Amino acid sequence: MDKIKHLALTLDKSQERGYIKVPFQVEKNTERIDIRYRYPSSPVSSEGDYCISGEPCTIDLAVMLPDGTMAGASGSDRSHVWLSPLGSSAGFLSGELPEGTWHIIAGAYHVPAEGVTVEYTLEFTEKKRRLFKGDTHVHTTASDGILTPEEAAGLAKRMGLDYLFFTDHNNSAQNENLPDCDDITILPGTEWTHYKGHAGFLGVKRAFLRPYFTGSPEETDALFREAGERGAFRIINHPFCPLVPWEWGFALPFDGLEVWNGVMSERNERAAGWWHAQLCAGRRIPVTGGSDYHRLGLLGSLAMPCHCLYAPSRSPQDLLQALRRGNGFISYLPSGPMADLQAEGMDGNAASFGDFAVRGSEVSLLFTGLQAGDEIRLITEKDTEILNAPKGAVQLMLKRNYPDALFLRLELYRSYAPGLPPMKALLSNPVYFG
């Protein structure tokens, strides 16, 4: 729930030309701060039948962060400013909003003789868990795509997506000038492209400084380690692609695996099968899906598949953290089937995809966007429960208990057209039991 706080500052003439700090508290997980203020710019008094304008009053506005650095200043021309990671008022920094004691800086430029009271209204928008749809693997004219970054962002916006990662081949220059879009979050990335396989380095403008054309396992290992040290989320892309298979082995330091690249195919099923074996062996590897979009085609579209993330906001930091943790699932289209999962978390909070849940706790499952004939699979390392959606089914709510399982993950298979065999239409990251 959003919170509103009212503050009042009374100034007298002796404080004119001074800067007065007005403290206010910002709590953890604040997504946006709106600050509005008002005061009489020219107090009016009565003289007989006349209203007489008094001395002018001008109070400037600035905002200071808890560490003492300035978030921005607007003078006195605006009565409303806002700050958020997704864009702030002109003249104000955009970024995560740290908890702690902030200050409004009131610049008492002109104070009338009788003084003035300045009223501030602060509105705090809290972060809350919600679903964001996007694409983790997109190429533009910065490599071999046909859309400029601006055109790709515009297409994503028209499709109703919430975020995009641009991952041009061996190129990071485009990350210095990413499009600024109000309704979609654009994140930097690079697809490391080598004759022996491809990898996605997501979330940083420049994942590596050394040449991309490594010539030995040792050089490749060093490049991956550098990318990790620079903060990149390192994903092995389409590892079983017959055209560009992954030939480096899986001992390199990587963080995630792309198990769904473009339209569903045998190569993606092989990747999912390898990943499942790793889960059964006790490894935790978050998986991703991406369109590998270059141009529109019969079997290719932006967000085909669509990577769906549960995050507290669509700020770059929150989306990247959700991707790292595996907080979500992959659906074959933005309009495809959706899923959610809730259980008791090890930390006392609710656990979902990518989290640790208390072993033996009740798991609540929700599937939406169903169609008749959908085959729903609840998968652990021990067995697979299969349910078939009946005619007219659009939603399914389930409760299950897994006292002995290491993990639970979800899949859904759908026949895309009459006569065609069912194909994977949804795959989730697991919830782990500890």
Mean pLDDT over residues 42-69, rounded?
Answer: 83
pLDDT value of position 296: 84
* pLDDT at residue 44 is higher than 70: no
Residue 46, pLDDT score? 67
pLDDT band at 257 (very low <50, low <70, confident <90, very high): very high
In the predicted structure, residue 298 carries a pLDDT above the cut 70: no
pLDDT range class, residue 55, cuts 50, 70, 90:
confident
What rounded mean pLDDT belongs to the chain?
95
Please tell me the predicted confidence (pLDDT) of residue 417: 82
pLDDT given at position 251: 96
pLDDT of residue 43: 63
Is 80 exceeded by the pLDDT of residue 327? Answer: yes
Q: Which of 313, 279, 268 is nearest to 426 (CA)?
A: 268
Rounded mean pLDDT, 360-372: 97
Q: What is the mean pLDDT of residues 45-65?
A: 82
Q: What are phi and psi of 82, to 5 degrees?
A: -140, 155
Q: What is the pLDDT of residues 377-400, one digit of tens each?
A: 999 999 999 999 999 999 999 999
217-240 mean pLDDT: 98
Over 90: is that where the pLDDT of 281 sits? Answer: yes
**Higher model confidence: residue 425 or residue 348?**
425
Express as a percent the part of the chain with pLDDT over 90: 91
Q: Is the pLDDT of residue 271 over 70?
A: yes
pTM above 0.85, yes or no: yes
Is it the case that residue 236 has pLDDT exceeding 80?
yes
Closest C-alpha to 187, from 317, 301, 311: 317
pLDDT of amino acid 319: 98
Asked whether the predicted pLDDT for residue 1 surpasses 80, the reply is: no
Of residues 335 and 46, which shows the higher confidence score? 335
Say what the pLDDT of residue 52 is.
65
- Give yes or no for residue 431 having a pLDDT over 90: yes
Q: What is the pLDDT of residues 89-143, one digit of tens each?
A: 999 999 999 999 999 999 999 999 989 999 999 999 999 999 999 999 999 999 9
Say which range, 42-51, 275-284, 418-427, has the weakest mean pLDDT: 42-51
pLDDT of amino acid 42: 72
Q: Which pLDDT score, from 0 to 100, does residue 334 have?
A: 98
